[in-house]
């Protein structure tokens, strides 16, 4: 008789960031995570995380709504069910609840962590095994001040902590953003890849002008320049410029990926376990993208260590990460709630070892930062 799910707890955790993190739609000074703790009848615990950016400014799920969804709707459907029946439980949740992929991602992560601990296998082994143990990670320069960003980029390059940088733009006039980005690229030169994330802030004509300027400045990638569901604009821009576009908010799941690829999009896709509904679902998006010849990038919703590690286990199984990853979320937080933080070095991060996710909650830190 296999163990069944005994209890599920969803905990809101608020951790300050090391600096204000500016996006086109919000500025963050605190990151709120929903930590899921799932116990089975043998006493094993699986953990998961759901995190979003800037409350409801980014998307339809907030940390508070994720907790409500798990407590009120998901837990009653899962309690007493076999803990290792991950596919069956996913079908059960999908039949009962549309969308809510952030909440589903935290649950799928906890189920995988639980299964990994039961089998004494790391999570990536459940996904076919890691191809790489060290994964490249970029850093976002988001102070908004050009010289501050240049100084930060040069310091991180010297420390060999990051050699790829992303800039959040779109909240200022176009040419102000272009001058800011071009100055940073000129300062770091060929030592670093510089990309931009517009977070859907431009219309198509603004994007066309912006991409022409950014292409001339030597920028490597433009993330989601136009509104998320304006697929025709993304396709036209991708075909107009040799500067590649990274689709992010446009693609949540494998169905979105198929729709965009079949419309003629060429470029890259930001994979995110939160958007897709969990690590297994994010890898389905990767399969469709790979079949269409679209580049892969390991994206983040600025998760803490638990959500970042779940993503890393998935990204480690991919043949090629054409554009690396941005799993720097834990570095943006002033503190951590796990016993052993991730090891960032050599322009990337080491995949944790040990069963399941390979991370353990620090109970004192969790108690300190949990919302009461």
Residue 168 known to be catalytic: yes
Residue 372 contacts by C-beta under 8 Å, 6 or more apart in sequence?
A: none
**What is the C-alpha to C-alpha distance for residues 124 and 133, in angstroms, rounded to an integer?**
10
Choosing from 108, 152, 223, 326, which is the catalytic residue? Answer: 326
Choosing from 104, 117, 168, 272, which is the catalytic residue? Answer: 168
Q: Is the distance from CB of 78 to CB of 107 less than 8 angstroms?
A: yes
Residue 67 known to be catalytic: no
Residue 299 contacts by C-beta under 8 Å, 6 or more apart in sequence?
A: 248, 270, 271, 272, 275, 325, 326
**What is the C-alpha to C-alpha distance for residues 149 and 224, in angstroms, rounded to an integer?**
22
Element (H, E) at 119: helix 101-119
- Residue 322 burial (C-beta neighbours within 10 Å; 0-12, 13-18, 19+): middle
Tokens 């300062």 appear where? 187
**What is the C-alpha to C-alpha distance for residues 46 and 215, in angstroms, rounded to an integer?**
45
Q: Just list the catalytic residues.
A: 168, 326
């Amino acid at each position: 008789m296999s163990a069944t799910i005994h209890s599920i707890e969803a905990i809101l955790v608020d951790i300050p960031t090391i600096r204000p993190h500016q996006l086109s739609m919000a500025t963050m000074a605190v990151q709120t995570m929903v930590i899921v703790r799932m116990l089975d009848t043998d006493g094993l615990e699986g953990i998961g995380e759901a995190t979003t950016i800037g409350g409801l400014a980014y998307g339809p799920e907030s940390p508070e709504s994720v907790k409500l969804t798990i407590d009120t709707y998901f837990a009653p459907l899962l309690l007493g069910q076999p803990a290792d029946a991950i596919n069956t439980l996913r079908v059960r949740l999908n039949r009962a609840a549309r969308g809510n992929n952030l909440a589903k991602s935290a649950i799928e992560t906890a189920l995988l962590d639980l299964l990994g601990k039961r089998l004494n296998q790391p999570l990536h082994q459940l996904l076919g095994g890691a191809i790489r143990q060290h994964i490249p990670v970029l850093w976002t320069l988001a102070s908004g001040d050009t010289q501050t960003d240049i100084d930060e980029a040069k310091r991180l390059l010297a420390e060999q902590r990051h050699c790829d940088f992303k800039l959040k733009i779109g909240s200022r006039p176009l040419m102000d953003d272009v001058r800011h980005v071009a100055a940073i690229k000129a300062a770091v030169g060929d030592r670093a890849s510089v990309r931009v994330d517009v977070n859907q802030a431009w219309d198509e004509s603004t994007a066309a002008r912006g991409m022409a300027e950014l292409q001339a400045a030597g920028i490597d990638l433009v993330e989601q320049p136009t509104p998320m569901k304006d697929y025709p604009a993304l396709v036209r821009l991708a075909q107009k410029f040799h500067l590649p576009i990274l689709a992010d908010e446009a693609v949540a799941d494998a169905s979105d990926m198929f729709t965009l690829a079949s419309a003629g999009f060429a470029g890259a896709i930001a994979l995110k376990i939160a958007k897709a509904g969990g690590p297994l679902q994010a890898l389905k998006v990767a399969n469709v993208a790979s079949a269409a010849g679209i580049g892969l990038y390991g994206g983040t919703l600025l998760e803490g260590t638990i959500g970042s590690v779940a993503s890393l286990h998935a990204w480690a199984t991919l043949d090629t990460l054409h554009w690396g990853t941005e799993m720097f979320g834990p570095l943006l937080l002033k503190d951590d709630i796990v016993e052993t933080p991730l090891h960032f070095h050599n322009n990337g991060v080491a995949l944790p070892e040990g069963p399941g996710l390979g991370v353990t909650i620090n109970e004192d830190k969790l108690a300190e930062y949990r919302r009461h």
